[in-house]
Amino acid sequence: MDINSYRSAARIIALGFLLCSLPLSGGAFADEKNLTVRIVGTSHPSSFNQLIYVHVFNPAYTPADLAGWVSASELIIDGQPSNRTGAFSGPPGLAPKGDWEGCFSADDYTPAIAAGKHRLSLKLGGFQSYAATVKWFNPVDWRQGDMKSRTKEIKDLASAITEGMPQACVEQWLTKLDGGVQQTNRVRYYLDPGFKVVVPYTQAGLPGNKHAVVSGPAQSYQENRIRD
């Protein structure tokens, strides 16, 4: 290869690096190291909402306004923006070189995601996650089924509660604590009509940012609610 060929190849490589670093629309960068999104929930339509599981990393050496990032965030659904309208209950800030994992409800964005297949990404904090094809379904009323279908969807939910998932995500699905004495590091939840789900937790994160995450398989079974 002569010197001109080497120079041409070098220009092509340099152009490739430049294109990879160009911002996406709205000034956001697609960088899966800084922002990743996936959909979590039951594998089939159920009464439990699908959730948008978010992991965001602050690459700066200064703190970030996480609450501000979330407030200004957008879901991009098939190329169209859906604006954040819901409140954010997570930490207000993000430490330098720190990260946060949590779950957003689709109800926090307007317009909502319609049932069906979509290309979905999230803009947050100056970054945009890579778009992924997702199958979205609207929740159904479990009362329209029977005990067999209710048992199945609760077992399906228990399988969707995976190790490392923040407790705050789990408790968007499991909103009622069972009565009586709770075990240390294990929380027992109640679901109508007569089901329990037990989830083990452990503390994770750096000092000052400790939070509970799932530490093992969730278990579901039938049992009447314990009254305090």
Whole-number Å distance between alpha carbons of 155 and 147 = 12
Helix (H) or strand (E) holding 194: none
Q: Are strands 29-30 and 127-128 parallel, antiparallel or unpaired?
A: parallel
Contact 139, 46 (CB under 8 A): yes
The pLDDT score that the predictor gives to residue 208 is: 63
Alpha carbon 228 to its chain centroid, in Å, reads 33
- Please name which of 202, 161, 198 lies closest in space to residue 177, comparing C-alpha atoms: 198
- Residue range(s) of every CATH 2.60.40 domain in the chain: 25-140
Which of the four pLDDT bands, split at 50, 70 and 90, describes residue 187?
very high
The pLDDT score that the predictor gives to residue 28 is: 39
27-73 pLDDT tens trace: 334 456 799 999 999 999 999 999 999 999 999 999 999 999 999 99
Whole-number Å distance between alpha carbons of 165 and 214 = 5
19 CB-near residues (< 8 Å, 6+ apart)? none
How many CB atoms are closer than 10 A to CB 168?
Answer: 15
The CATH class that applies to domain 25-140 reads mainly beta
Whole-number Å distance between alpha carbons of 88 and 91 = 8
Contact 31, 127 (CB under 8 A): yes
Query: In Å, what is the CA distance from 86 to each residue of 107, 110, 147, 224?
Result: 7, 9, 34, 34
Contact 165, 153 (CB under 8 A): no
**pLDDT of 20 strictly over 60:** no
74-94 pLDDT tens trace: 999 999 999 999 999 989 999
CA atoms within 13 Å, Cβ hemisphere of 31: 16
